[in-house]
Copies of this chain bind each other. A is one copy, B any other.
């Protein structure tokens, strides 16, 4: 492809609304443009990457026995009513009416549609197992779309669904997909890790997430240094290894803490350790408010909270709501005398002598003993694990790293097959529900995650397997006919050898073109200048390392192919 006839509108400046590096670079490299909140157009470079990602996924899914279909984006309400999700699914499910006032939604996932597709047609155990997948555009009406392709509303997803005659078969299907995912992410050229995960809104009995490792990841991964344990922090149980012991506690004492809201401020003002302070968080659990107590130095894990209450959504109460239930402004909530249900993290169970908010402006209590002064409804595992906690499996040291979820596999069980009556006759002629699994990969998110993982100050550094082009030829002076002739000759040779080339034939200054070259991140650059061409030399640059290599013209094609192979 010749750049001048292509469409790569690169930008010098970071877009103002982009918070994360992949979003910035995708915009600046002329790969995506925002149409409206959380909805993007893929420009040619991004589309080529997405097509490569899709093809790798397709090949591996098929190699592991899955069959590709394509289901619609618009789905009728009836199916979601049958599964019970029409009401249960939150506002991310975009619902609308057609011209005949019938209810539909834009599919955020396809469990209902795929189950409806095969029920009635797959009737015998002899037709099982069956594993169907698609690469398709999904829509989730995120309340706060952000981070470009990382959390958009319209996005491209590979979703697959397996149907088995029994649990054993379902586990085999799950394991096949686990293996397929390992192959896929390896072939995509990404550093990744599979971790145990929460099952969330999809439901089901267990699941793994595939995480691209990147400092900028939203997810925290917990990895054991000894055993094989690795899990999303959302999912990691905290073992109460060293319960603190109760001691005697002086009576409650109110102290003034003027303008001290945060744990840090109060600890420093009172001269106590943050772990001797209890944070009182007012949460909205579906429609009611509850208080959640947690040690000052800990993070609450909202997923655990959601799972304990078995609800769709939990969220921090608004300032107004906090004021209503505590009688004090934000920052001074405390459990003493609070008129709502109170839950506390388990590690507070045996501790005593804490600092807590006094439900009064600019005031805290010293010497709070939860058992003596507070009616705690239940002590639960509610906090995030830390690197200081022992591995919940083997007790060894843990480490925490950041990751971006790009794949998620679930063993669903019979949740959807029971609801939608997807049954079959087994060997004994007995009618049974199929046992299902479902398997997702965020195709457009993979593109963003690969950039979060692979970039430097100058731009994107694409792994070879998903680079839009493998080789970028930079013709330095396009008005020099000899340079252009040589550039086109090399372009033709490389193309004939199956190397995908982009030729920068724009009439621009070299510095401008070098900057763009680094920005768009093609793995190998070839700089074609009059001087080196006269000497029958080629200048190559490896984007990842910045290393420059001078080779004889005649050896150029071979060297480029070799570099691409090494980079893969």
Find out whether the CB atom of B9 lies under 8 angstroms from the CB atom of A121: yes
Q: Which of A93-101, A209-217, A232-240, A532-540 faces chain B?
A: A93-101
Find out whether the CB atom of A132 lies under 8 angstroms from the CB atom of B7: yes
A124 vs B100: C-alpha distance in the bound complex, in angstroms?
46
Q: Is A40 an interface residue (CB 8 A)?
A: yes
Find out whether the CB atom of A47 lies under 8 angstroms from the CB atom of B69: yes
Closest Cβ–Cβ distance, residue A47 to chain B (whole Å): 5
CB proximity to B under 8 Å, residues A38-77: 39-44, 47, 50, 65, 67-76
CB-defined contacts of A137 to chain B, threshold 8 Å: 73, 137
**Which one of B44, B72, B132 lies within 8 Å of A69 (CB-CB)?**
B44
Find out whether the CB atom of B117 lies under 8 angstroms from the CB atom of A41: yes
Q: Is A462 an interface residue (CB 8 A)?
A: no
Closest Cβ–Cβ distance, residue A448 to chain B (whole Å): 15
**Which one of B44, B70, B106 lies within 8 Å of A47 (CB-CB)?**
B70
CB proximity to B under 8 Å, residues A81-103: 91-92, 94, 96-99
Closest Cβ–Cβ distance, residue A342 to chain B (whole Å): 32
How many copies are assembled? 2
Closest Cβ–Cβ distance, residue A124 to chain B (whole Å): 12
Q: Is A439 an interface residue (CB 8 A)?
A: no
CB-defined contacts of A153 to chain B, threshold 8 Å: 74, 98
Q: Is A410 an interface residue (CB 8 A)?
A: no
Q: Is A168 an interface residue (CB 8 A)?
A: no
Closest Cβ–Cβ distance, residue A40 to chain B (whole Å): 7
Nearest opposing residue in chain B for A7, CB measure: B67
Interface centre among A42, A50, A68, A99, by most chain B C-beta atoms within 10 angstroms, is A99
Find out whether the CB atom of A35 lies under 8 angstroms from the CB atom of B68: no
Nearest opposing residue in chain B for A93, CB measure: B99
CB-defined contacts of A104 to chain B, threshold 8 Å: 36
* Total number of A residues with any Cβ neighbor in B under 8 Å: 49
CB-defined contacts of A67 to chain B, threshold 8 Å: 5-7, 44
Find out whether the CB atom of A35 lies under 8 angstroms from the CB atom of B96: no
Find out whether the CB atom of A43 lies under 8 angstroms from the CB atom of B72: no
Q: Is A332 an interface residue (CB 8 A)?
A: no
Closest Cβ–Cβ distance, residue A56 to chain B (whole Å): 16
Find out whether the CB atom of A76 lies under 8 angstroms from the CB atom of B42: no
A68 vs B68: C-alpha distance in the bound complex, in angstroms?
23
A24-40: contact bitstring with B at CB < 8 Å (1 yes, 0 no)?
A: 00000000010110011
Find out whether the CB atom of B71 lies under 8 angstroms from the CB atom of A44: no
Interface SS of A by simple majority: mixed
Find out whether the CB atom of A76 lies under 8 angstroms from the CB atom of B41: no
CB-defined contacts of A154 to chain B, threshold 8 Å: 72-74
Q: Is A113 an interface residue (CB 8 A)?
A: yes
CB-defined contacts of A42 to chain B, threshold 8 Å: 69-71
Q: Is A139 an interface residue (CB 8 A)?
A: yes
Q: Is A457 an interface residue (CB 8 A)?
A: no
Q: Is A116 an interface residue (CB 8 A)?
A: yes
A41 vs B74: C-alpha distance in the bound complex, in angstroms?
11
A40 vs B69: C-alpha distance in the bound complex, in angstroms?
11
**Which one of B36, B76, B91, B122 lies within 8 Å of A76 (CB-CB)?**
B36
CB-defined contacts of A323 to chain B, threshold 8 Å: none
Closest Cβ–Cβ distance, residue A79 to chain B (whole Å): 8
Nearest opposing residue in chain B for A132, CB measure: B7
Q: Is A130 an interface residue (CB 8 A)?
A: yes
Find out whether the CB atom of B94 lies under 8 angstroms from the CB atom of A35: no
CB-defined contacts of A496 to chain B, threshold 8 Å: none
Find out whether the CB atom of B76 lies under 8 angstroms from the CB atom of A35: yes
A65 vs B1: C-alpha distance in the bound complex, in angstroms?
10
Q: Is A426 an interface residue (CB 8 A)?
A: no
**Which one of B65, B91, B113 lies within 8 Å of A99 (CB-CB)?**
B91
A104 vs B43: C-alpha distance in the bound complex, in angstroms?
22
Nearest opposing residue in chain B for A91, CB measure: B99
CB-defined contacts of A254 to chain B, threshold 8 Å: none
Task: Please list 18 pairs of residues, one from A and one from B, whose beta carbons are closer than 8 Å in the complex, sorted by A's number.
Answer: A5-B67, A7-B69, A9-B122, A33-B117, A35-B75, A35-B76, A39-B72, A39-B76, A41-B70, A41-B71, A42-B70, A73-B137, A74-B106, A74-B153, A94-B96, A94-B98, A96-B97, A137-B137
Shortest Cβ-Cβ A-B pairs, 10 listed: A96-B96, A36-B76, A42-B70, A91-B99, A39-B72, A41-B71, A9-B121, A99-B141, A72-B154, A7-B67
